[in-house]
């Protein structure tokens, strides 16, 4: 999430009541989740297990629950509750409406058809010659390109599934990102594409999604991907161009799939995969899977 204008470290520290380490004029450009951070971003960390990852990430401001040595060229915000304060910063700079106010700052391109039963949030942009079917829900800040088809019951821009356990309950990390659907994408019935926590969930140009597909926050689907029914892709994944996923594939969070990879039905993906064809509950290269099956049968 980018601020509308650059902020100073002291301004952010004062906003959340945190101590800061670094120059009070240190420039802060926005916030981001650890998988998507870039220079100028604030990233939060609240467990020693992840200190090194956050401190050595591309982020230049680390919102942390303990004073540690500050890496050169970076700054720290020391907070008693970084998760809470990360939410506070995000919602201070990004207004959350969630259909409670109908401001409808919507741009719609020429030739686009939207069924009257569709529900559209605020600050939405829809390109030319796009077709939105009945009962589609389009959340705030969603961007949809040209020549896109979105079929009935699909929801774009729902909240990210991102929680912590606090006092016996679940506490949500509030989503201030968005969804971007690029040109010539087709999305089937009853799909759900969550908006990014602080960045964009992206469906690349020319990709086609079947019915009943879930795509998690901050995931990037490349160009010309083909995804069959009941696939579930967790948050922060990168699916490169021309990947094919058949029915009921499941992909764990933070996974990268190389361009041209093929996942056959019901594959479970728990690690990064290079280009190939995979099958099995824990993804195996298909030829190796078949060899194993032959050996097992020959044991009888």
**Catalytic positions, please?**
217
Please list, residue by residue across 168-191, b when 16 or more beta carbons sit within 10 angstroms of its beta carbon and e when fewer do: eeeeebbbbbbbbbbbbbbbbbbb
Enter the DSSP assignment of 210.
Answer: -
Q: How far apart are the first and last CA of the chain?
A: 59
- 262 Cβ contact partners less than 8 Å away, ≥ 6 residues apart: 243, 244, 276, 277, 278
> β-strand 19-21 against 75-78: which pairing, if any?
antiparallel
> β-strand 163-166 against 169-172: which pairing, if any?
antiparallel
Question: What is d(CA 92, CA 84) in angstroms, rounded to the nearest whole number?
Answer: 12
Question: What is d(CA 12, CA 28) in angstroms, rounded to the nearest whole number?
Answer: 8
DSSP letters for 67-128: --PPPTT-EEEE-S-HHHHHHHHHHHHS---TTSS-----EE-TT-EE-TT-EE-SS-EE-T
Own/partner pairs, 121-128, CB within 8 angstroms, 24+ separation? 121/97, 121/157, 122/97, 127/183
> β-strand 119-120 against 137-138: which pairing, if any?
parallel
Give the 3-state secondary structure percentages of the chain, helix then strand then coil, rounded to 5: 15, 30, 55
């Amino acid at each position: 999430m980018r601020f509308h204008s650059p902020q100073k470290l002291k301004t952010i520290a004062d906003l959340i009541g945190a101590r800061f380490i670094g120059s009070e004029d240190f420039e802060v450009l926005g916030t981001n989740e650890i998988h998507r951070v870039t220079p100028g971003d604030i990233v939060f960390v609240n467990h020693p297990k992840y200190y090194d990852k956050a401190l050595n990430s591309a982020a230049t401001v680390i919102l942390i629950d303990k004073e540690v040595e500050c890496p050169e060229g970076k700054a720290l915000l020391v907070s008693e509750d970084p998760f809470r304060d990360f939410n506070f910063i995000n919602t201070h700079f990004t207004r959350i409406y969630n259909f409670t106010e109908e401001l409808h700052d919507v741009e719609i391109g020429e030739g686009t058809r939207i069924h009257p039963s569709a529900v559209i949030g605020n600050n939405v942009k829809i390109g030319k010659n796009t077709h939105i079917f009945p009962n589609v829900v389009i959340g705030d800040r969603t961007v949809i390109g040209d020549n896109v088809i979105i079929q009935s019951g699909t929801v774009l821009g729902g909240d990210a599934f991102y929680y912590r356990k606090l006092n016996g309950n679940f506490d949500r990390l509030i989503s201030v990102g968005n969804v971007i659907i690029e040109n010539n994408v087709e999305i089937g019935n009853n799909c759900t594409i969550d908006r990014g926590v602080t960045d964009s969930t992206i469906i690349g140009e020319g990709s086609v999604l079947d019915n009943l597909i879930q795509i998690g926050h901050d995931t990037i689907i490349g160009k010309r991907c083909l995804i069959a029914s009941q696939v579930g892709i967790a948050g922060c994944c990168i699916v490169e161009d021309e990947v094919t996923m058949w029915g009921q594939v499941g992909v764990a969070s933070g996974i990268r799939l190389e361009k041209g990879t093929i996942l056959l039905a019901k594959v479970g993906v728990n690690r990064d995969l290079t280009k190939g064809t995979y099958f099995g509950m824990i993804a195996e290269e298909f030829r190796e899977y078949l060899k194993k099956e032959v050996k097992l049968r020959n044991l009888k």
